[in-house]
Amino acid sequence: MFDKLRSAFSNAAKSLGEKELNEKDIEDILFELEISLMESDVATEVIDSIKSDLKEKLIGSKVDKNEIEKFVKDSLISSISSLFDAAGEYDLFEKINEKKKDGQPFLILFVGINGTGKTTSLAKVAHLLKEKKYSVVIAAADTFRAGAIEQLREHTNRLNLKLVAQNYNSDPAAVARDAVLYAKSHKTDVVLIDTAGRMQTSENLMQQIAKITKVVNPDMKIFVGDSLAGNDTVNQAREFHEHVKFDGSILTKSDADARGGAALSIVKVTSTPVLYVGVGQEYPDLKPFDKELFLETVFGSLDNVDIAKTEPTPEPEPTPEPEPTPEPEPTPEPEPTPEPTPEPEPTPEPEPTPEPEPTPEPEPTPEPEPTPEPEPTPEPEPTPEPEPTPEPEPTPEPEPTPEPEPTPEPEPTPEPEPTPEPEPTPEPEPTPEPEPKVSSDDPFDGITDDEIATYSDLFDVPPPENDNEALKLGNKIRQWIKDGKQKPGESKVENDVEDEADDEEEIQKHDKEEPKKKKGRFGFLKR
């Protein structure tokens, strides 16, 4: 990057000598710098920020003509370094350990456009986590791209990891939720969620990403960008950040890009750090981003670069030293007159008298304040206890007369409804035939993923934590389907006691079944 600036430095050195720089003196340098940054794929707003910062450091500085190149280079490196420092750092392993202490899985969502290497980068992160002794499950939430599920299955087979997947065109949010339920039931440390690539200009697909984020609430969102895409990568990062507020970036194909403009621009535009860079096609070819290595790649060796030297502006301050011209300073000689005034200051020396202030130590006398403890005398306020005279209000207790409503309990006659409950079991039996992987022990047997997702969204139902909750949720969804899939405002009034009784009967029914059972759709009922 810096080679094209050398001619500008040379021309400026011929005309400068040793003097204070003004805007006209550095005009050519800033112009050449702007061209070099543009050719390095640095975003326009980032270039303007760097130029403004550099101009502020140069104008008014007194630099020898032989040192101007080094001074400008040091100032530029310092300016770029400050951009990375402002983005901060993200300690992935520390975040995972915090969730692990709470017994919860750490969820990571990968986003980006088509062809940037999201799936491969996800596999590299999975390999990195496995090397750190974390247990990992992968969710194939890219149900759109042909071959996406097979690609992930190949990676998981090589890495010996668990893959949660459904059919193509399934709801990506449902796949992600299944993976989270699996992780909770199997005490898995990390869930990696792959998503379909999408252009940042597709509003519908960007809203789908927002839906996945809302359903599973990931702990971390990573944007995967292509280092070779140049300024377009910056536009992609800006749009994705507006929709999902990702926490950091992974830049792929960095081994083929020595310009570094994409990394610099993404950090400036999104104020998020670059976490890792892809430097090859193998699993170990994912390296943590190193600011010093990045600057060395762009500018060459930093051995003779002292970022702190970017503040040579104080050097001209010695010039004010010849300012003893303000000989009128002898006028301050009358100031000695005030010096006698400080002599009376010895009078404040009696201030040691405040030392008796330790007398306030008797303030422990306030310790008798425990006498306020008799304030419990207000306890006689229990006299208001006669106010229980309003206790006659318990007369409304006769309202328990509505308790005769339990008379509807004889309505257990609707208990014959359990007889229809076995009827749903045969009804779903034909449905599982196309889905041989689903056993009749599945609490959601006969219920489609769309019906589960719709019911969860309508009634804000969290994922079940155990077998009993899964059975209860399955019964409620079947009842809801039976009632015509009514919305919350249209639902019939049901007796909560009967619902609980039905749920308990269903649970007892499953408990009495043979001890050897197959695994259900959500990983429950496995004995």
Name the maximum alpha-carbon separation found in the chain: 111
| 521 annotated among ligand-binding-site residues | no
Check the annotation: does 419 bind a ligand: no
- Whether 92-292 and 1-87 are alike in CATH topology: the answer is no
Q: Is 253 annotated as a binding residue?
A: yes
Alpha carbon separation from 415 to 213, 293, 412, 418, 499 (Å, rounded): 41, 73, 5, 6, 11
The response to whether 115 counts as a known ligand-binding position is yes
Known binder of ligand: residue 112? Answer: yes
- Crossing angle of helices 68-87 and 291-299, in 10° steps, is 150
pLDDT of residue 2: 45
260 annotated ligand-binding residue: no
* Residue 196 known to bind ligand: yes
Structure tokens at 461: 């139902």
CA distance 50 to 84: 13
75 annotated binding-site participant: no
Nearest CA-CA partner of 272 in 200, 214, 223, 235? 223
**Residue 512 is labelled as binding a ligand:** no
Q: Which residue(s) pair with 276 in the sheet?
A: 250, 288
| Whole-model pTM over 0.85 | no
Residue with tokens 């050398």: 6
Q: Is 194 among the annotated ligand-binding positions?
A: yes
Return d(Cα 272, Cα 236) in angstroms, integer.
14
Least trusted range by pLDDT, from 1-15, 260-274, 276-290, 341-355:
341-355
114 belongs to an annotated ligand binding site: yes
At 239-288, the pLDDT tens digits run 888 888 999 999 998 887 656 678 888 898 899 999 999 999 899 999 99
From 232, 250, 180, 323, select the one nearest 43 (Cα to Cα): 232
Architecture per CATH, domain 92-292, reads as: 3-Layer(aba) Sandwich (3.40)
Residue 197 is labelled as binding a ligand: yes
Q: How far apart (Å, rounded) are the C-alpha atoms in residues 166 and 149?
A: 9
Q: For 24-71, what is each residue's pLDDT tens digit?
A: 767 777 888 888 888 877 888 888 888 888 888 877 777 676 677 777
Q: Give 499-517 as a DSSP string.
A: HHHHHHHHHHHHHTS-S--
Superfamily designation of domain 1-87: SRP54, nucleotide-binding domain (1.20.120.140)
Q: Is 278 annotated as a binding residue?
A: no
* 158 assigned ligand-binding residue: no
Note whether 449 and 166 are within 8 A (CB). Answer: yes
The 10 Å Cβ neighbour count of residue 380 is 8
Strands (E), 112-164: 136-140, 162-164
Q: Is 225 annotated as a binding residue?
A: no
Is 254 within any annotated ligand binding site? yes
Contacts of residue 184, defined as CB under 8 A and 6 or more positions apart, other chains included, come to 104, 105, 463, 465
Q: Which helix (H) or strand (E) holds 221?
A: strand 220-226
Beta bridge partners of 222: 110, 248
Chain segment 169-187, per-residue pLDDT in tens = 899 999 999 999 999 999 9
Q: Is 431 annotated as a binding residue?
A: no
| Average pLDDT over every residue of 383-394 | 42
Q: Break the chain into its structural domains and give their ranges.
A: 1-87, 92-292, 449-479
